[in-house]
C-alpha cells in the first residue's frame, strides 16, 4: 500500500472516530428516552445510531461496504426526517458531514478494490 493511501485511510478512520464521539454526545444531549414508554420516533433515533455503528465497525474491515452503509444511513435519516420526526430538519444538516465521509470512504474502497484487481491480473 502506498504511503499516501495509508495516510488517507488513517485520516478516514480518525474522522469516523470523531464522528462517533460527536454522535454519542448528540444522543446524550438530546436525552431521547429509551424503553417501553418510548414512541417509534424516539426509538428510531437509536436504530439509526445502530446503522451508523454498523458502518463504523465495518470500516475497519471493508471500506467499500462501510461507505455504502454510511450513505444508506444518510438516506434513512432523510426518510425519518420527512415522515417520522416532526422537528428533525437540523439532523439532516448535522448528518451531512457523515454522508460526505461515507462518500470518501466509498471512493477509497473502490480505489483499493481496483488496485487489488490490477495487482492480481
**pLDDT digit string (tens) for 74-113?**
999 998 888 887 787 788 888 898 899 999 989 988 888 8
Burial of 112 (0-12, 13-18, 19+ CB in 10 A): middle
Is 22's pLDDT higher than 80? yes
pLDDT band at 46 (very low <50, low <70, confident <90, very high): confident
User: What is the reported pLDDT for 121?
Assistant: 60
Give the whole-angstrom CA distance, residue 81 versus residue 9.
31
Task: Give the chain's mean pLDDT.
Answer: 84
State the pLDDT at residue 103: 93
Which of helix, strand or coil describes residue 109? helix
User: What pLDDT is stored for residue 54 in this prediction?
Assistant: 93
**Whole-number Å distance between alpha carbons of 118 and 22:** 38
Amino acid at each position: 500500500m502506498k504511503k499516501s493511501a495509508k495516510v488517507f485511510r488513517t485520516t478516514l478512520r480518525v474522522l469516523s472516530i470523531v464522528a462517533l464521539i460527536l454522535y454519542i454526545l448528540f444522543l446524550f444531549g438530546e436525552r431521547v428516552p429509551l424503553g417501553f414508554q418510548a414512541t417509534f420516533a424516539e426509538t428510531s433515533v437509536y436504530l439509526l445510531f445502530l446503522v451508523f455503528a454498523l458502518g463504523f465497525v465495518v470500516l475497519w474491515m471493508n471500506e467499500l461496504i462501510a461507505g455504502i452503509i454510511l450513505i444508506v444511513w444518510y438516506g434513512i435519516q432523510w426518510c425519518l426526517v420527512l415522515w417520522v420526526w416532526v422537528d428533525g430538519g437540523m439532523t439532516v444538516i448535522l448528518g451531512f458531514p457523515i454522508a460526505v465521509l461515507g462518500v470518501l470512504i466509498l471512493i477509497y474502497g473502490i480505489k483499493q478494490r481496483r488496485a487489488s484487481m490490477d495487482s492480481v491480473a
